Structure 1
């Protein structure tokens, strides 16, 4: 029976006590596997084809991009059992008691946006599914059905969410595997699935690599949310492997379907994927439509739960279930108001917002894994106020967006020189990680010079 998670802010702000760290380790895999079984991942594969990549070059880009994106997620997930904290709250060790609030607030806003964007294709699929039964369903009602299911799960807490991820994951895997097989074998005009192409130029390879890696990298802000209830006796290697395996395998599977069908899909958008699957599968189309409709529950149940954690870490004193309801409600309003008009704008704005993830991740991982010996005992001590790392985060994020970003809303000077290639994520991570390492070295020298004895707080 699912356990109801605590409702107060202390559920987020205090570590999970060891006696409550009883979650089965297999939940780690499903929590990072199921949310990627969605049309958004299929679209990434189609996008790679639309950028001119094909054959082995496209496959290698998917492989490298998913490895680069999944590695930081797995490295963050390892922090969960040791800290007992959600991911945004755990960043207080790097950013300080007040400095953690900014990335947490950004993450909450992102969760609202992604909630809306994830629900739109699922609502479309649900409407089309109902039409196959001879009925009609208005968009606002389809959205409401999905939002209600998601907020009920997220309000109950992590255990309900992770139970849903496990069992819904099996259903989604079977449905998408069947739909993918039907799509890949559907070649009415002899169109090759992935035609061999001339070697693509470096700009398009970088564009594709950035799109693939950023898709999985975004899950770093969620990682320890779904590992903190695992026993601290669970091997760190096991936590890492289950997280990496879950997120890499699901993203790779769905993106491969996109890659193999990209030449036959009109544009890299969820709507195009849905309509193509409906056409190709004929009388079996309800299988794909049902999977797409259900997929948003797997994504957004976790999304709303993480958003609730993030809002509390940002300084809110709202109870956790109410925070989840607030997130789902705002996302519902956003999606319904933007029906047919603003979805593309939301997606573009969210792509721009992702530029905070790489610097945040570089700082958090460097702080956790690369501390000098003199500072290792203080790895889980929260600095007061805004730490230098919080200032570094702001500086690198702003510089990355201005100098390196490449989105439909803004193309930076460096991206223009690289013919639109986006290296912002890679540069942001490297700059922030290097800056954090230098800050740690400086802090270690200070401790050695002043003779301060370092103890665990």
Structure 2
């Protein structure tokens, strides 16, 4: 394993071909292991709490995971071709200045995910230590986990991807064992509820929460494929990414769905206490899996955040950037510990408001370019582009018109009974808008050469 370059050039410049030596199989583990986390189990329980148990909940999980995993796989394909982290590759459509906005939003998103992932893991770590007679406060348990994650992320992509592969096997075996025990043990505790027709609003909230958990990885995707040789088949990159993202989250959420009716509420404390009870002699295994799963997910999260902060225009050392992110995530987790459920549900939906339009623009720019512009697909436009303006406009409009949260409900969401379809509208509106911008640019190019572009790929 090698320590990644620490200067900003490692983010702003393409990986040279002689360094693109990462084995293709690591693409799977890079997207599989991070989702083996209690946060995914909590989503399955949350679907039950929304009034969507049984087959309805199953189809919500399936639809949400499909919708969330596909953009991740399409973005991952860009990595070996561009040699750039995902947010830095946004410059091809947003421009050198325009890409700073989504990059900084993604950095803030990473800080939030740090907190979301660490709260349940810290609670499990405390219970694990109690079993050997040690009593530690939440802030200390959280600090130990955050420090391990930080040290791993500071090493860069190679160390992070090695952790994902080897820790992934341990997490898979542990969660599979604990999950099957939990399903069988909880079967006798399930509460039979009266049959009710699921509300459209609840179905959309459920799909949105499930989809957001996966789609958030689209902003990370090429971070962990850019060191793969450019000669690697794009189809293989796509399917390894898709299967890794989809399978891990679906399995964990399905365990949550099958045990949700026997858990008092979707808080991390209730879920972890239930797992500890159902696991019997394997309780230490269950607690260790929950505690150390945050290392797999937040090592990747902190590393990506370091990339995003540099792409956002903050020219600092990559390691220092990781330190800033981990520190902010630690503070947020300590402050939000007692309000996890409400913060988590709202956070999952809020993340979709920006990630969906961003995905629509980036994917349309990469895959839907007119033939006359395909040779310029990897040219970096200077300054702020119309695509960057499109991103801001669509994001703001979807929040104002479609959002449905305890703080604010948009007029269209209100007419739909509280259903939030903003992420669908945001993705397709941004994609269609980007295609229209590309068509207009292609028409202008037939009249005169395009100016203002840097005719080199760096």
- With the shorter chain as reference, the TM-score category is over 0.9
TM-score, normalised on structure 1?
0.95
1:415 is matched with: 413
For 2:224, which of 223, 226, 235 is the aligned residue?
Answer: 226
Counterpart contact for 2:187–2:259, Cα < 8 Å: no
- What is the CA distance between 1:362 and its match in structure 2? 0.3
Q: Distance in 2 between matches of 1:11 and 1:234?
A: 21
Q: Distance in 2 between matches of 1:118 and 1:406?
A: 24
Q: Distance in 2 between matches of 1:242 and 1:47?
A: 28
- What is the CA distance between 1:455 and its match in structure 2? 10
Q: Distance in 2 between matches of 1:58 and 1:195?
A: 14
- What is the CA distance between 1:271 and its match in structure 2? 2.3
1:36 is matched with: 35
Counterpart contact for 2:84–2:223, Cα < 8 Å: yes
- CA deviations on 1:246-272 (whole Å, 9 max, x unpaired) are 000001100110111111111223222
Q: Distance in 2 between matches of 1:262 and 1:331?
A: 28
Q: Distance in 1 between matches of 2:72 and 2:337?
A: 32
Q: Does 1:436 find its partner at 2:434?
A: yes
1:127 is matched with: 126
- What is the CA distance between 1:344 and its match in structure 2? 4.2
- CA deviations on 1:60-93 (whole Å, 9 max, x unpaired) are 2211211111000000000000000000000000
TM-score, normalised on structure 2?
0.95
2:215 is matched with: 217
Q: 1:188 to 1:57 in 2, by over 3 A?
A: closer
Q: 1:189 to 1:248 in 2, by over 3 A?
A: closer
Question: How many residue pairs end up in the alignment?
Answer: 455
- What is the CA distance between 1:420 and its match in structure 2? 1.7
Counterpart contact for 1:114–1:350, Cα < 8 Å: no
Q: 1:336 to 1:208 in 2, by over 3 A?
A: closer
1:276 is matched with: 274
- What is the CA distance between 1:415 and its match in structure 2? 1.6
2:247 is matched with: 249
Identify unmatched segments of 5+ residues in structure 1: none
Q: Does 1:359 find its partner at 2:370?
A: no
Q: Distance in 1 between matches of 2:52 and 2:343?
A: 26
- What is the CA distance between 1:456 and its match in structure 2? 5.9
Counterpart contact for 1:359–1:396, Cα < 8 Å: yes
For 1:333, which of 309, 331, 334 is the aligned residue?
Answer: 331
Q: Distance in 1 between matches of 2:246 and 2:351?
A: 23
Please list, as runs of the form range in 1=range in 2, the aligned pairs for 1:111-122 lying within 5 A after superposition: 111-122=110-121
1:85 is matched with: 84
Which has the higher mean CA deviation after the structures are superposed, 47-56 or 85-94? Answer: 47-56
Identify unmatched segments of 5+ residues in structure 2: none
Counterpart contact for 1:126–1:289, Cα < 8 Å: yes
1:146 is matched with: 145
2:161 is matched with: 162
